Amino acid sequence: MKNKENELEMFSFDAIKDEFIGEVGTVKRTLYEQELQMEILGDLIKKVRLERNMTQEELGKLIGVQRAQISKLENNTTNVTVETILRVFSALKAKVNFNVEILNSNIKIAG
């Protein structure tokens, strides 16, 4: 027989995020998700750079920035433009694809 006091209640990761960060669509949740994506992007840049046997300084020289800027990018401590991301991955000889998904939108383009 199970003892109710010893049973653990299970929660999904999404339910925990909803509770402590905010539901999908809220400003706080959107900022959290964007920051998480930028952290993943920084980790990816570092991983590819290391696979290419490049130092931060070498990568910086290829795209015209100081080593410190590459460090900040890899550690997600700076704002970065799409142009910079494209330059970094181009220097790393990596192909970049962007997937833009617009939910609940009625966008019309005049033709």
pLDDT confidence of residue 66: 93
pLDDT confidence of residue 59: 96
In which residue ranges of the chain is pLDDT below 70?
A: 1-6, 100, 102, 105-111
What is the tens place of the pLDDT at every residue in 48-66?
A: 999 999 999 999 999 999 9
pLDDT confidence of residue 1: 47
User: What value does the CA radius of gyration of the chain take, rounded to a whole number of Å?
Assistant: 20
Q: Which distant-in-sequence residues (6+ apart) come within 8 Å of 80 by Cβ?
A: 38, 73
Q: For residue 40, which of 73, 16, 70, 17 has the smallest C-alpha distance?
A: 73
Q: For the domain made up of 13-91, give the CATH fold.
A: 434 Repressor (Amino-terminal Domain) (1.10.260)
pLDDT confidence of residue 19: 84
Long-range contacts of 57-63 (CB under 8 A, 24+ apart): 59/88, 59/91, 59/92, 62/91, 63/87, 63/88, 63/91
Q: For residue 73, which of 84, 83, 64, 58 has the smallest C-alpha distance?
A: 84
pLDDT confidence of residue 63: 93
Q: What is the pTM of this model?
A: 0.64
pLDDT confidence of residue 89: 92
What ranges do the domains of the chain cover?
A: 13-91
